[in-house]
Chains A and B, each alone.
Chain A
Amino acid sequence: MLLLFAGIIVKGQETTLIAISNKKGAPSIMKMTELKSVLKGEKQRWNDGTKVSIVLMKTNTPVGEATCQKIYNMSGDKVKRFWLGLSFSGKADAPIFCNSISELETIVAQTPGAIAILDKISIGTNTKTIVVDGKNSF
């Protein structure tokens, strides 16, 4: 059981992640601390006034697991509990959790202010890759 748990953590840490956003809203360059802050629901609007919408892969997917580890430093269950508590207190809107990368890309492309984490470069016409700490991936 411990080996399995350790395996999941290692797998999560090994997956390379990329931050993407809708062309409207998020900046093209961010620090990792800023990205984590946004993805923890600490920012309601981008500097241009567009509402922040967080789009994530479900926590039981490989990308979702890696996001939980690298962004939230939590297990998938803890991330879901974190968001349950935050939305229940009325302090933030819960993310949209997706089953597939294509679903995630579609939502980001259609939602101004959307920001998302995935594991490959997105080539959508209405999305852009965010450079985090000077790198395209992390």
Chain B
Amino acid sequence: MKELKSITILVIINSFIGSSVLYSQNTQIKGFVDALAGVQNDKLSFALGEQDLFITSELSDRFSFLGESVFRFTNTTPTKFSVSIERVVIKYNFYGNHNLLVGKHHTPINYWNDTYHHGRVLFPTIYRPLLFDANIIPLHTTGIGLQGHNLGDLKFGYDFMIGNGIGSTDVLDNDAKKSITAAIHIKPAEGLRFGISWYNDGIAKGAVGHDGMPMQWAVDQNLFSGSIAYFGNKFEVLAEGTLAINKTDTTGSQQTLASYIYAGFKIHEKIVPYVRLDNLSFQEGEIFYNNNNTTSIVGGIRYNINYVTTVKMEYQHQHAAKDGDSNRFSMQLAIGF
């Protein structure tokens, strides 16, 4: 009996050791950082960009973890820097290419937000498109989601996510309404991706919006987004648009259309001249966003020194209805480490 007990214990220990050998935790830490120089209003300035720490870990055969934390300049803290948790995603691969995701995510609402995250070396341009700066879309969702990818001949993919809505924190929702994101895409050819998405949230009166201002009315928000991305051996095209419909009981529905198109041409594997056109068009009476119709053109050149070192130079001309014209010349050195 005693011998049987010893054998049983040995078998249990062996099975634990065996599984730890097969699925030993593989953790990788990588990072991104960028430095900038820019001329605006006849003044040259140097700037630190973001320092992004990116951790992945295979916890077991089915569980994995991804974390992304960013250190950046913030004028409101004593140290003049702040740390933000950008992504904490625990993934459970329950079947084939289908996964359950829990944590804080970059909302999979469009290609840019779901692909580049804070890795500036991967950005096709120095700065994000204007629809990010204008807070048209929610960048993060803390919640739970289902994800599938590369399904069938068309390489169909989906993301369905439910989470804390706008005005919530990463630990508490401010109201009973949850945000819903539903996104699908196909990749019918090498480098080509078509995607559409829908985002819905009921934003409570008093909730703090993307711009830090409390809402004066409760808003029912629907965002419809579409994107076309093609990154081939010679040409690069990325076009995305979001139609935002914000409805309140007092002001009715207002529509905002935010879009951009990026195009690049590889004159050499490492050298890519590019342009990007942005447009923000707000309907009269829009109360959720800062109603400031804006157009912008960016022209630049990207030089990939190696796979983790990129230099970009670009010129941007912007016209905003409230702010008038502005011009900016920027240089960026972005690295991965």
Contact = CB atoms under 8 A, between A and B. Distances in A.
Contacts of B300: none
Given A81-B307, A91-B149, A42 B117 contact: no
Interface in A82-120: 84-85, 87-91, 93-94, 111-112
A16 interface: no
Given A75-B269, A77-B307, A90 B91 contact: yes
A37 interface: yes
Contact of B28 (A75, A77, A94): A94
A90 B89 contact: yes
Interface in B129-165: 149-150, 155
A137 interface: no
Contacts, number: 63
Contacts of A73: 233
Interface string B191-235: 000000000000000000000000000000000000000000100
A75 B266 CA distance: 14
A75 B270 CA distance: 11
A54 B89 CA distance: 22
Contacts of B307: 77-78, 80-81, 84
Interface stretch (B56-64, B291-299, B314-322): B56-64
A112 B23 CA distance: 10
A89 B117 contact: yes
A37 B151 CA distance: 11
- Could you say which interface size class chain A belongs to? 20 to 34
A45 interface: yes
A87 B58 CA distance: 12
A43 interface: yes
Interface string B93-118: 10111010000000000000011010
B150 A43 contact: yes
B4 interface: no
Contacts of B61: 51
Interface in A21-65: 37, 42-45, 51
B125 to A, nearest CB: 16
B204 to A, nearest CB: 30
B150 A85 contact: no
Given A51-B61, A77-B307, A90 B66 contact: yes
A94 B97 CA distance: 16
A106 B54 CA distance: 29
Contacts of B122: 81, 84-85, 88
Interface string B21-62: 010000010100000000000000000000000101010011
Contacts of A75: 269
16 contacts: A37-B150, A42-B149, A44-B96, A45-B95, A51-B62, A51-B93, A75-B269, A77-B306, A81-B307, A81-B308, A85-B119, A87-B28, A88-B54, A88-B117, A89-B114, A90-B91
